[in-house]
Amino acid sequence: MNEYLFGTDGVRGRANHSPMDSETALKLGRAAAAVFRNGHHRHRIVIGKDTRLSGYMLETALASGIVSMGTDVMLVGPLPTPGVAFITRGMRADAGIVISGSHNDYRDNGIKFFDRDGYKLSSALEQKIETHFHQMSEAEGRATAGQIGKASHVEDAVGRYIQFLKGSFPQRLALDGLKVVVDCSNGAGYRVAPRVLEELGAQVIAIAATPDGTNINQDCGSLHMEGLSKKVREVGADIGIALDGDADRVILCDETGTVVDGDVIMALCGQMWKKRGLLKKNAIVATVMSNLALDRAMNDLGIQVMRTKVGDRHVVEAMKASGTNFGGEQSGHMIFLDYNTTGDGMLAALQVLVILLEENKPLSALRKIFDPYPQVLLNVKVKEKKELSHIPEIAERIQSIEQELGKNGRFLFRYSGTEMTARIMVEGPDSSKIQQYAEEVSQLINQHLGV
């Protein structure tokens, strides 16, 4: 049996270990080039990456595999994941590839694919690449000497993406007078984010903007808000913006340093877009992780909240199927389909800055658009991802918790698609009770599956 390459968000793994090694990346590049070949034109694939040390190795191997099949490669270097999607569309490439481990530390990496329209691949297309990967012979599809592809650098990729982001900001507005702290997570947004904000007029203090290949997401970025909150208070900033390693998600903090998560960002943007008449179907798409209070706040505004599985790909699929144009995740993925095809941290941050300017209110006031229900999130490292139906003690306790919560709360359990981690979310009116529930199940998972 061949091992599955693709998980919930591309191919992931430990750097320099299969499947995140040179040998696998080269074969994956060859398989992708074969699948994306469509017609007799000169084919091109964009490759971008974040700032991980292993990105150089994987980039070279992928490019080698692709050009060996007679397809050209366009290298854009470190660029946010949404920037690669934008460049792929803009340059009429046949596909785009992002080398990034997202919010994980530098020891991990990943390879994600976009189609020619900038959308993440369907499961069917991923399966097609995987089939080619496992079944292609060494000689199959290889180009003759004169037809081998070329690899070249797109020198203005960062500038193109910066102009795109600035174009999403209303021409009538400017950020003059606003002091903004931006945490670049020592990742792919370290050049883009400060420049966009500065060119729109803001006074910018950039932190975690000196990547060295090993410090990406290290005590910084959207999963580690302490440093940003502290800096915002220290310098008296109006807002703090935290990106993750590949800058496809954003979490904010207000001028007091209080964290503003993706649910609040969705509520604010949903409200603004409905007020402007831009919100298609008067609906937004969220995942099962979003707080129940989001639904009630949006319903009060005449906005329907549609729910889908966790993952920005599922959000986009639901948006396309329903004809809606805005959705996101509590974790900070925000998708504005009128502008881009995937989660875009800086695009979302700019939308919130528009709200600050137009409402002329601090974020500390705006974030009170709803009072979230108490919610506990716990992550538990596991040695295997075993079906809970095979562990009666855990399954039965979860079932009894769900009965106790009734309609006034929720219990969600899932395994991470990118890490050996079990995720627990409990939501309900009694914060001490839901904490107790989460810790009980966490202990049971440690007991049966813990590392």
Q: Which residues are catalytic?
A: 102
Write out the two tokens for 117.
Answer: 């329209």
Write out the two tokens for 192.
Answer: 């883009």
Q: Is 186 in contact with 208 (CB distance < 8 Å)?
A: yes
Q: How far apart are CA 289 and CA 379, in angstroms?
A: 14
Instruction: Identify the CA nearest to 78 among candidates 104, 55, 62, 94.
Output: 55
Instruction: Identify the CA nearest to 43 among candidates 70, 68, 61.
Output: 70
Q: How far apart are CA 385 and CA 402, in angstroms?
A: 22
Centroid of chain to Cα 87: 17
Q: Is 299 in contact with 340 (CB distance < 8 Å)?
A: no
**How far is CA 175 from each of CA 53, 107, 269, 339, rounded to the nearest angstrom?**
35, 37, 18, 20
- SS3 for 390? helix
Q: Which residue has the tokens 């969220």?
A: 286
Longest dimension (CA), the chain: 70
Instruction: Identify the CA nearest to 157 among candidates 70, 96, 104, 221.
Output: 96
- SS3 for 8? coil
Q: How far apart are CA 237 and CA 205, in angstroms?
A: 9
Q: Identify whether 211 is preceded by a cis peptide bond (ω within 30 of 0).
A: no
DSSP 391-437: -HHHHHHHHHHHHHHGGG-EEEEEE-SSSSEEEEEEE-S-HHHHHHH
With a CB cutoff of 8 Å and minimum separation 6, the contacts of 362 are 238, 254, 255, 356
